[in-house]
Each structure stands twice: as structure tokens, then as C-alpha cells.
A and B are shown apart, each in its own frame.
Chain A
Amino acid sequence: MRALLVTAAGLAALAAAQPSAQVTYERIANSEREPQNWITYSGNYQSHRFSPLTEITRANVAKLKPAWVYQVRRTGIVETSPIVADGVMYITEPPSTVTALDAHTGRPLWTYTPAIPTDVIVIGSPPVNRGVAILGDTVFFGTVHGHLIALDAKSGAVRWDTVVDDNKLGHYLTNAPLALADRIIVGVSGAEAGIRGFLDAYDPKSGKRVWRTYTVPTPGEPGAQTWGGESWKNGGGSSWLTGSYDPALNLVYWGTGNPGPDWNGDVRPGDNLYTCSLLALSPVDGRIKWHFQFTPHDVHDWDSNEIPILFDATVNGRARKLVAMANRNAFYYVLDRETGEFLSGTPYAKQTWAEGLDAKGRPRLKPGTDPSLEGTLVFPNIQGASNWPSPSFSPATKLFYQPAREMGTYYYKGESKYKAGEPFVAGGGRAVNGDEAWGAVRAIEAATGKMKWEFKLLSPPWSGLLSTAGGLVFGGTEEGNFFALDAENGTPLWDLQLGGAVKANPIAFGVDGKEYIAIAAGYAIFVFGL
């Protein structure tokens, strides 16, 4: 293991050494060497959302207090996960604004808002944005009107503005792009409008598309036999959350979403590849090296876009390169990330739809769990046992920290006729919410799926988690609490009411040799330090 513990003095030296350096691919690939920066969506390419900073610890976290607060310019749900590079924080504001802040004070340095048409089509989620990517001296982000835009990191000036796909058909972007050596990878939303999903790669300099890999095959391609009739044309399979990358294997890992329409699978008989799957792709040409489908022929809207976390461990006596995902369908999966081989799948939240998984990881379905005209009660609920809020993996504890959602839904089946740019969902649900639903932070042994501890939450959470080398796990609640737990046993050590629901992912960064934790809540970004 690399030396992950960095002293405050060392941190200051690092900060001084790179005051205005460009954020190169090499820096991102070795992000643990500069823990004062948070230069890719999940902190590193392995998506650990783990900070090696050690100033804030179990012993002193009780003294944590606000350092600064930044209020966003217009109301909306703030789901941003900040990027911090060399003293500048880059955030996104709803729906598609990028703002650069002085990381010392929260004072804005520049802000950019594209012209979003008033008739923009956003079907399937609120009009949100989860963050930017940075590479060189350029910041990249997606918009609700379906553009990928590159901005000068110093001024916010537009370097290029590329239409990913037609918003009139329901394509829109909420995910932070993933910046690799010479590729900007970005996914798309829109399955609820009946798009045919894809994952794209763009040239960082020109904005020209290098490749597109559709997540739903056309007739004649592998997997096409898993779609009845012409259902593939509106088959969904969005790619709406940021994936992970293994530099050594040179593979990108990216989850795919639900098939369309969501709750009536009669019109799309078959497994509906590659929806609700994890894809391992070459960043060079976008070719799919392997795929693993978590929920074949999904009829509950259980996208598999959740963050895939990469780590290495010994499984059954053999050293393995692994990828793990706490899937929306309530199973925690461990796969071999070189081959896609299924190694284990364990429920991490209440589920009532599967007897279990077979030797290849395919669910053995319980009868009577499909949506129906009269409503079918199934756990997890429509938004799933997990969703976009990020899990965290600590190399120190080897635990996978998951914000788990305990909630059921009565699933109803309806009918939808496809019409371009309009809802294509065919049903819905009646949530079992309030006192009958709850949530938890769960610590799962990453290699085995065994639960080690949990910290209960009043409501199913929409906040991601951050773990740190200070032995802490940070998270938030729907009721507006931001809190720190002991990473070893889940004991609550600090909490503060922020006055608005936390629907974002925390990060850690450093300026002037001090460690800070940042989280969005309500209509603001909060930064805490000792």
C-alpha cells in the first residue's frame, strides 16, 4: 500500500509546490499524492471517495465548525460534488451553471451559465448537475439541454461547446464527465423519454467526438436478440452517473440505467442488454470488453448507474482485481474487474423480489413481484436501495460505506406510447414512506459483502459518503444534518443542522495546510474546518 498518511506540514509543502500547475492526467492518476486537491469526481479513478488527509480525526472532529458558506444563485436541488485544484473550488449550480470559488474564502472567481432554452426537456430526474471534470487548464461539464461544454479554468471563457445529442428527443446531462489522458468520457440521461442510451468520449482539445458506444444494440449486433421487435429503438439504458477507471488495465467501468418503458416490460421481451449493467470499455475506442447485467429485463426502474468502486483483495485465497457495486436492486456485488466474472452478491438492504442469485449472479426471481394494475408491494422502492449518492471505500479499513435506503413501493403497470421528447414510463409507484421508511449508513466488508456496522437514519438518504484517513465517515440526511461517524464502528462523533436537505456528495480538500470538508445542503455549499 502506498503511504496514504500525510502530515499537515507535508500538505503545506505540497500546496506550495503546485500553486498553478495544470491538472494533468498523471496528477489525476496519482491523486493520492496531492490529498489537498480533489481533482476527479470521486476523488480518484478508483472512485474511493476517500481522503488521505489526517488533520481532522476521531479525537478532534467534535470541534469542527463552518469555515465559509456559498449560496447558489437560483433555487434548485444542489447535487454538486466539488472539484478542488490548487486553491480553487469548481462547483455546479442547478441546473447547469459552473462557478469557480476561492477555496480559502468561498468568494466567487467566475461563473458561467449557458443559454438554456425555456422549453428544455428534462424527463427522469430533477434538472440537476453533479459536478465538473478538470484536465489541463480546462473545466468540462454537461448541461440539461444536452451539451458538453469546456471552459477555461482561470476565466470561465468557453473553449468549446458540443451538442452531445438532441434535447428535443429527451437527451440531457447531469453527470460529471470523467477526464482521462486524452478523452473526456460523458454519459447521458433520458431513458424516461425513450432515448437509446450511449456513452461518449470527446477530444479534450477540440470537443470532437472520438467514439460513441450505444448501450442498446441494433439488430445484428451482440445482444440484439435480447430485445423483442423494435423495442430497442426506445430501449433506454442511460449512462447518467460518472464511472471509474483502471489505468493499469486501461478500462473504464460505467453503469447503465433502466430499459424503457420503465414499468411495463411486455413491449420489450428479453433481457434487454445492456441495460441495468456494468460495462468495462476501452477508453481508446469504446469497445465493450465485458458486461455484467445485474437486473435482466428490469421492470422496477432499478438503474445500475451506481458508482463502481475498484479495489484489490484476496478472494478465496486468490489475489484479485475487483470492482464492487451496491446496486439499486439491494444486492452488493463483487466482480473480477479484469474479466467481469461474478464472485459474490449479498443483500445489503431489504429486498423482496429475488430468492437470491445463481452461481453466475443472475437473480432467481420471486413470483408475483412484477408491477400490476392493482399495485405490487416490492422492496426496494423505485429509487432503489441505492442511487446516485456515492459510496466510499477506505483503504485503511477495507470497508465499503454505503448510504442504504430502506423503503418499499407499490409498483403499478401502465401503458405508454412513445412520442419524441415526452414521458415514456408506463406506470409508476406508490411509495411507502414516512415512518415506514428509513435509512442507514452501512459499513460492508468490501471483499465479502458482510455487514460490519450500521448507523440508522430517519429517512432514506440522498447524501453520499466520504471516508478519511482521519478515521471518519462523513454523510448527510434528508432532515439537513451533516455528521461524522467513527469509520471503525459507526459511532456518531459530530453533527450539525444545515437547514436544508443534504442531496450531495462530501469531499475533503486542503488550503494553507489545513484540512476542510465540503458538502452541499439546501441552496448552499458549506465548508468545515477545525
Chain B
Amino acid sequence: MILPLVLALTVQSAPASGRAIQEGKKLFDGMCARCHGIDGTGDEGPALNRATLARAASDDALRDVIRDGIPERGMPRVRRLSDGELAQLVAYVRSLGRAGGPPARGDAERGRAVYARLGCASCHIVEGQGSSFGPDLTEIGIQRGAGYLKQSVIGPGETLPRGLSQVPGRGFAEYLPVQIVTSDGRTIRGVRINEDPFTIQLRDTNNQFHSYRKSELKQLEKEFGKSVMPGFRGRVTDTELDDLVAYLSTLRGVK
């Protein structure tokens, strides 16, 4: 069934703070939300609730995109706005991409040790180091706020990522656990990498790719609400959790 809950689990946008952002939101809802979605969650147009925008690396570039449009992609130019209104709109769009929630309150250095002790690198890459079964965390401090990170550590099945990757596509759960039974009776568990109505691609728990035609499978089960990552609820102390989240929040790209 369609669950409103799902939306609460997607990338959260920063709460509008400041008058400029509030005014920018009004302008956005009146002109931009049709294509970019309310809160920039994306619809016909791309999602804007991300830390970096492909065509607008800086505020100046974002201002130019709004003013000049991207005609070949169907984004109209907007010339009616005063400089002040344009600044409000830019402030609002930028606020959408900021990792929201309260700042992490732990000790990042101690958190780095927790990351090592828990063996996170056996599934995650940070600055090129680690294994690639799970999401690359090199920029996770930009992409996700402390609240989301904490939830991901203690109950990852409730917070499967969306929108981190271009594959499998807009709005689909990434790293969705799947279990299949092949025509010759083998059971394979892994994460969905991509899918269409006729085929599915996955990586098994040994990080090996598999591709199947669905019609040739005896069983295909998508395990919504689960994650192949172990949840650490009850397995780390509150302090360790805060420290780990503080460390993850410092991950803001290759230094």
C-alpha cells in the first residue's frame, strides 16, 4: 500500500528559518513546485533537495539558472523577480539541500574509533577506503542530517536511502533487500541494483552481480522495511551512537 510514512523517511529538508527562506518558499510554491515538487522533492523536474545541484554549484549559478532557464530541458526562464526576490528564492532552494535536524552532539574523533570497531568499512567506503557493498559515505555529512544518520545506525531497514543514486531511479528504495529462488532452486539474497518489468539486477551478500529475467525465477521477494545492514539498536551505548553520528556528520567529501 502507499504509505505517507515513506515521505517522512526521504531526505528531509531544512525547516524554513528566516524571513528570506519563508518568502522564497512562497515564490517557489507559486512558480516552481509544479515541476520540482513541493519542498523540491522532484516530479517532472529534478529533485532540488540535495546538497549539490548539477547545474548550479554556486548561488550565482543558481540565480543564473532561474533567470535564464534551461530551455532544452523545459525549464522556463523567470525574469519577473526583483534581485531581492531572486535572492529569497535562491536562499529557499539552498535550504532544501541542507542536511536538516539538530547538529550531532557527540565526539567525532571517538566516533571514528566506533566506526572502526563496528567494522563499518567492511561494507562502506569513506574517502576511497573500505568495501562497496553498502552506500559510499564519503559525503554523507552533507547528504544526511544527524537524525537520519542515527536512525540509519540503529534501524537501517526503516530508512533505506532514496535519491542518493541515479540508479535505480527517482524515488525507488536503494539497497532494497531481495530474495530470489532461481529456476534450478538456488536461493540468493542480496540488494536490488536495478529493475524493470522483465528483469532484475542485484548484488548478493558476497558483492557479486546477478541478473535474471523475472519470468525465469521461481520466486522474487522484495523485503520492504528491511535492510541487509545489521541494526545497532541495543548494541551500542547512547554515547557511542552520538559519537558515531558526530563522526559521520564530518564526512563532507574527499579532503
Contacts and interface: CB of A to CB of B under 8 A. Distances in A.
- Most chain A Cβ neighbours within 10 Å, of B44, B162, B198: B198
Contacts of B171: 431, 433-437
Nearest to A170: B76
B173 A435 contact: yes
A436 B30 contact: no
A168 to B, nearest CB: 11
Contacts of B159: none
Interface in A50-85: 74-76
Contacts of A419: 80
B2 A432 contact: yes
Given A122-B76, A477-B197, A414 B2 contact: no
Contacts of B74: 122, 125-128
B198 A414 contact: no
A383 B36 CA distance: 13
Interface stretch (B3-11, B100-108, B143-151, B244-252): B3-11
A75 B3 CA distance: 36
Contacts, number: 149
A436 B171 CA distance: 8
B71 A430 contact: no
Contact of A126 (B7, B43, B73, B176): B73
Contacts of B195: 458, 479
B239 to A, nearest CB: 36
Contact of A119 (B31, B32, B77, B199): B77
Contact of B34 (A423, A433, A435, A456): A423
A234 B98 CA distance: 37
B189 interface: no
Contacts of A458: 195-197
A243 interface: no
Interface string B58-78: 000000000000011110111
B30 A434 contact: no
B11 to A, nearest CB: 12
B194 to A, nearest CB: 8
Contacts of A192: 34
A436 B3 contact: yes
Contacts of B72: 74-76, 94-95, 127
A282 interface: no
Contacts of A412: 29, 33, 38
B34 A262 contact: yes
- Most chain B Cβ neighbours within 10 Å, of A118, A428, A433: A428
Contact of A434 (B29, B79, B173, B215): B173
B91 to A, nearest CB: 18
A495 B37 contact: no
Interface in B73-123: 73-74, 76-80
B33 A434 contact: no
Given A432-B2, A434-B162, A436-B3, A422 B37 contact: no
20 contacts: A75-B72, A121-B77, A123-B76, A126-B74, A301-B34, A416-B30, A419-B80, A422-B80, A423-B34, A426-B30, A429-B33, A430-B7, A430-B41, A431-B41, A434-B172, A435-B176, A436-B6, A437-B171, A479-B195, A492-B215
Given A122-B74, A428-B37, 20 more contacts: A94-B72, A125-B74, A301-B34, A377-B2, A379-B2, A414-B33, A422-B78, A425-B31, A429-B43, A430-B43, A434-B162, A434-B172, A434-B173, A435-B222, A436-B3, A437-B2, A458-B195, A459-B169, A478-B169, A481-B196
Q: Give the top 3 A-B pairs by smallest Cβ distance, nearest first.
A: A428-B33, A434-B171, A433-B171
